[in-house]
Copies of this chain bind each other. A is one copy, B any other.
Amino acid sequence: MFLGRVIGEVWATRKVSDLEGHRLLVVEALDTGSGPPAPMVTPVVAADPLGAGVGEEVIVAFGKAARVACGGDGDFALEAAVVGIVDGHQLNAGESA
């Protein structure tokens, strides 16, 4: 799982039927490490069963965890989902948000 920020939304009319009815968010990883900045990584597209808004901090899970989060039985054409909307975090460098 990773800590990310919702930076937008994506729409697809032509899609596999399992994705019908799922909001698809674009989430970028937050670099909360203690060292020099990590290189940016390209954002992830995650289904959102929780109703996160753009700008919110979220926890994203992959694979079966994402399918379970979306109510699937595991046989589901989806492999990333928001599993939590973050209230706050406390990092050892003293940063809190």
A7–B76 contact, CB under 8 A? no
Partner of A46, one of B1, B15, B44, B46: B1
A45–B2 contact, CB under 8 A? yes
A49–B92 contact, CB under 8 A? no
Give the A interface residue count (CB, 8 A). 71
B42–A61 contact, CB under 8 A? no
A8–B89 contact, CB under 8 A? yes
A1–B78 contact, CB under 8 A? yes
B75–A74 contact, CB under 8 A? yes
Minimum CB distance partner of A87 in chain B: B11
Residues of A within 8 A of B (CB): 1-3, 6-16, 18-19, 24, 26, 28-46, 49-51, 54-55, 59, 61-69, 74-81, 83-93
